[in-house]
Structure 1
Amino acid sequence: MTVETPSPTNTPERAAVAAGAQEWLETLQSWVRIPSVSADPDHHADVAASARFLAGELRAKGFPEVKVLDEGPWLPAVLAHWPSGDPAAVRVVVYGHHDVQPADGVERWTHPPFEPRIIDGILHGRGASDDKGNIAMHLLGLSAHLSATGRTAPAVDLTMLVEGEEESGSPHILELLQAYRSELDADLVVVSDTGIFGPETPSVCIGMRGLVAGEIHVHGPDIDLHSGSFGGAVPNPIAELSRILAALHDDDRHVAVTGFYDDVVDPTEAERAATAALPFDERAWISGPAASRVPAGEAGWTTLERVGARPTAEINGIWGGYTGPGNKTIVPTDAYAKLTFRLVGRQDPATIQKLVTDFVQATARPGVEVEIHWEGSGVAPLYVDTTHPATTATRRALGLAFDTDEVLMTREGGSGPEAELAGVIGAPLVFLGVMTDADQIHAPNESASVPLLLKGCEAVAHLWRELAELGRAGLE
């Protein structure tokens, strides 16, 4: 399916983006310099500084109502409103986040993570793509929209909600949404925390997986023991933890937790055919952004299906005992592992947490104490209505920015609070982001393509006009 767009042209929106690009890039780099790592309490003051920075930029762009939301259990978020002045205007809430992933393994970064620099059209730095770059698109995109239309206020009633805990699983997003529900009335939610299929293949995301995250703690002897005197005679918690983790998957890499697949909805044959038709070079993906040697995953599914349409169980970290230089011959007292489960279809986070907890307890053998601690309530999967006028408008906006009438629809493997946003706000949702696998989000050497970011800015400018032309009635 294609979306008709006008012939490629140097639109007023594109000209305005080009005119403001240099100043905008300098602003984005200043924002990236703030190490707003929500997972690390030592950086919570930086998260607050990042929120204040964004609030200042929104005010500078003309938003008449801007506030930092720092009175609650959540880390500081930013809420801004700019009414269009037209009571019948489409009401839009833009969601994203300003916190970033930890930048551990600094020795593996080619450039310091919080010292951004642009080299050969690539902006390097933690948050350059996820999600400061994609949220910053709305700053320049709005300016370009105003310049191109000659308006003094946006053509839509615009609200921005930018949270500070998404990279920590958005543990307080429901409380945040409910606390400010009266200020979030909307006809549409636009999420700018996703990507496109590739630099030459623009696409809109039509689905994201849900997520639950937890930590297993296995306790063995009450003290570290001499492995010569006690090894082989008492349970070793690292060995027991390893056995539990190994039991998570069968030989075909299916998740072995009883009931795990009960609420999975398999893609239709038409969806599988559409995925198979995507211009995906698996070998280049494996050796490039995947930095691996062979594809692997649940038997019976392709790589693209595994990362977009199938649930997973991943071991994100494991530790315990002695890990310093040399050797220390002990049976350790404790072992730990961090796990995440990506969810699809109708999988419910609370149900998956219970199923996994029961599995872990049933798999543990006598002699060790096993606990699993969950990080919050998790997030549910979300799927976009591909026939909704807002989806079509978003594809048209991207097509104009990329000079193409071929804007694909793809699923993404990541997770976020989209289901909660759509549920609490009670409005349809679309995704508009320009991240790519080459951005290495969550990994060392995160970066963003400046030309792609600027195309994203232009797409934002086009989208506000497209939605204004549709009007509220056109979104029903």
Structure 2
Amino acid sequence: MRERDARTRSELAELQGDMLAALAEWVRIPSVSAVPDHRADVVRSARWLVAALRAAGFPVVEEWETQGLPAVYAHWPPEDASAPTLLVYSHHDVHAVKDEEWRETSPFSPVLRGGRMYGRGVSDAKGQALCHLWALRAHVASGRSAPAVGVTLFIEGEEEIGSVNMADLLREHAGKLAADVVMVSDTMLWSLTDAAVCVGVRGSVNGRLEVRGSHADVHSGAVAGTAPNACTELARLLSQLHDEKGRVALPGFYDAVAPLSSRERAELDAIPFDEAEWLRQSHTRSVRGEHGCGVLERIWCRPSVEVSSLLGGDAEQPSRGVIPPSARADLLLRLVPDQTADEVAGQLRRWLEGRRVAGYDYELTVSSTISDPYLTPPEHPALAALERSMSRAVGHPPLRMRNGGAAPAAQLAREIDAPVLFFGTGLVDDRWHGHDEKVEIQALCQGAETLAYFLEDLAVNVR
């Protein structure tokens, strides 16, 4: 095995320059799915990936059109027809940018500096998607005519806007997406030094709450103290989302929350957590949230409700001295086993119904792109194969962690009828969705090496 691993590392090292150049070229395409003016760029991004996959040797590569933005599908059959098939999910669209906030480089002008690459999408998630291509090229270069397992890639173009057409793609192309194991590559590592395999993600529900008071802007000098103030009423409602101990106040919100097992608690306790370092890396000011739970338990294993945006009045204009007629807030709810997105959406609606007061109109809209939480079956042989592969790449057995964000894992598990693994190369300080997004080159290298070994191990141990 040492000789084989050395050969794999040599192949990966030879490919490193080409793969980093490819990542930089791909990142230069501003595939921002949330901005209509960038629709053509998302199409260009998909076609760039199609060409890259064909050049790498995939015999089947297709661009899949949707009612919105395109996805990319590719399949490479295994050398041995009886070998299992791995389906890899990721995305090629990126989050919107505020150019004026970037300091290291312009968002779509990637640069290498200090062992890092900066640019929108280098970590979330173009770098993660290219790790699979890097691993495959090294894997096949070792003398194979094809991968040891079947490899299918499903790289969508609408993840950053809620994967609005993914359900249709999964149903329409069910036969092509059939697999024995699914891997979601849109997740984070714990650190470069303390390797950990992600074994679960939270679910999500997105809601928009709008409150309407007066019929139009009203001059405060005429009605102050008597007119319904939408901003004040919205603030009253939002203040009731949590109790004095930081617990979410939706009726029945915790009824289905599964308690941690002794094994899960031990896995959580094994993560080397330093609060001061975590605050620095996550760019947060302090630790808040549910009393009686540690930080990692709160972000990985407990549900939450956050206000992600507030809008009321003319915040960008000089004060006009008016009482605004409407105000709105966007809510982001994170779920854990055994909550379901549909049940929590109902709890949110019932919470609002119990707090309406006369003199205001209320509207709650729940996004259709909700997702359930998911945990990888802890004893599945594919998870053991991934842990062995990471151990070979980093030199010591990995820990187990979760991710606090959401991913369409539960949906993929249901539609594909296969267990879902998670493997990504992001870090908490990569600033996903923020300015100066970066990726550590070491994380990409270790990720590609892990995935190359995983293809071998999966072929032997999962049938």
Contact 1:217–1:370 (8 Å) recurs in 2: yes
1:54-101 CA distances to partner (integer Å, 9 max, x unpaired)? 11100110111111111x324210011111242201111111111111
Counterpart position of 2:400: 409
1:228-250 CA distances to partner (integer Å, 9 max, x unpaired)? 11121111001111111111011
1:279 Cα deviation from its structure 2 partner: 0.8
Counterpart position of 1:62: 57
- Report the secondary structure of 2:211's partner residue: strand
2:242 to 225, 228, 249: 249
Counterpart position of 1:164: 157
- Give TM-score, length-normalised by structure 2: 0.97
Q: Give the share of equivalent positions with the same residue, in percent.
A: 38
Counterpart position of 1:321: 313
Query: What does 1:417-456 correspond to in 2, within 5 Å?
Result: 417-456=408-447
Matched, 1:12 2:7: yes
Matched, 1:49 2:40: no
Runs of 4+ in 1 over 6 A off after TM superposition: 6-9
2:75 to 62, 81, 93: 81
- Report the secondary structure of 1:355's partner residue: helix
Q: Partners in 2 of 1:348 and 1:377 — Cα distance? A: 13
1:150-194 CA distances to partner (integer Å, 9 max, x unpaired)? 012111111100111112222222211111101011111111111
1:470 Cα deviation from its structure 2 partner: 2.0
Query: What does 1:169-248 correspond to in 2, within 5 Å?
Result: 169-248=162-241
Q: Partners in 2 of 1:305 and 1:8 — Cα distance? A: 41
Q: Partners in 2 of 1:273 and 1:471 — Cα distance? A: 27
Counterpart position of 1:96: 90
- Report the secondary structure of 2:182's partner residue: strand
Q: Partners in 2 of 1:276 and 1:209 — Cα distance? A: 19
1:210 Cα deviation from its structure 2 partner: 0.3
1:272 Cα deviation from its structure 2 partner: 2.0
Alpha-carbon distance change, 8 to 229 in structure 1, aligned in 2, over 3 angstroms? farther
Greater mean deviation of Cα atoms: 235-244 or 354-363: 354-363
Aligned amino acid, residue 185 of structure 2: S
1:89-146 CA distances to partner (integer Å, 9 max, x unpaired)? 1111111111111113632543211111110110101111111100100111100001
List gaps (5 residues or longer) in structure 2: none
1:200-251 CA distances to partner (integer Å, 9 max, x unpaired)? 0111111100001111111111110101111211110011111111110111
Aligned amino acid, residue 313 of structure 1: V
List gaps (5 residues or longer) in structure 1: 1-5
Question: Number of residues paired by the alignment?
Answer: 463
Q: Partners in 1 of 2:57 and 2:102 — Cα distance? A: 40
1:421-467 CA distances to partner (integer Å, 9 max, x unpaired)? 01100011111212111211122111100111011111111111111
1:471 Cα deviation from its structure 2 partner: 4.6
Q: Partners in 2 of 1:419 and 1:13 — Cα distance? A: 33
Query: What does 1:309-388 correspond to in 2, within 5 Å?
Result: 309-388=301-380
1:44 Cα deviation from its structure 2 partner: 2.1
Q: Partners in 2 of 1:274 and 1:418 — Cα distance? A: 21
Contact 1:349–1:380 (8 Å) recurs in 2: yes
Contact 1:81–1:159 (8 Å) recurs in 2: yes
Counterpart position of 2:110: 116
1:327 Cα deviation from its structure 2 partner: 1.8
1:26 Cα deviation from its structure 2 partner: 0.6
